[in-house]
Amino acid sequence: MEQITLTKRVLVWWECAAFLEMLLLAGIIVLVFVEGTWLWYLLFWLLGASYVLVSFLYLPLLWLSMVYELDEARLICHGGVLFPKTRVMRRERIAFVTRVQGPVSTLLHTVTIVVHAAGGTSVIHMVDERHAQRLYDALSGGAS
């Protein structure tokens, strides 16, 4: 059974995106609310606390929880922090497989693979290009 995990670059990208979102929200707070009031301080404290929780607790736990397993008969996708979820797809049910690579994925050398099967769709986010090619070949070879 082959296990595929996300690369460290994905975690760094998520944390950079969280930092940019925090800066944007801080800018909105500065522009909209009067500086030095209790509400202004409260919003900044809440923003800082939520950034620390998300960036140093939630995102690393999410990164660790996203594991994909492929064996002879099925594809198993694990993920989720607060509500862990496992999706199992039998390989004989796979109809077709799609590779998606946007600008951010190209920059990070990752690929998103979408697996369409009878009864549902599974999305395998931001897998390293080498692992993605092997996974794509294995899954599309099993497609009918």
Write the pLDDT tens digit of every residue in 106-136.
998 999 999 998 888 888 888 999 888 888 8
CA pair distance 133, 95, nearest whole angstrom: 18
pLDDT of residue 144: 44
pLDDT of residue 15: 95
Closest residue by Cα to residue 47 from 60, 62, 32, 61: 32
Long-range contacts of 76-80 (CB under 8 A, 24+ apart): 77/122, 77/124
pLDDT of residue 141: 76
Supply the DSSP symbol for 84. -
CA pair distance 43, 9, nearest whole angstrom: 31
pLDDT of residue 142: 47
pLDDT of residue 47: 97
Are 80 and 63 contacting, i.e. CB atoms less than 8 angstroms apart? Answer: no
Q: Which residues pair with 100 in a beta bridge?
A: 112
Q: Does position 140 have pLDDT exceeding 90, yes or no?
A: no
Q: Residue 96: helix, strand or coil by DSSP?
A: strand
User: How confident is the model over 70-113, as pLDDT tens digits?
Assistant: 888 898 999 999 999 999 999 888 899 999 999 988 998 999 99
Of 52-56, 60-64, 88-92, which range is least confident?
88-92
Topology (CATH level 3) of domain 72-142: PH-domain like (2.30.29)
Question: How do the domains of the chain map onto residue ranges?
Answer: 2-64, 72-142
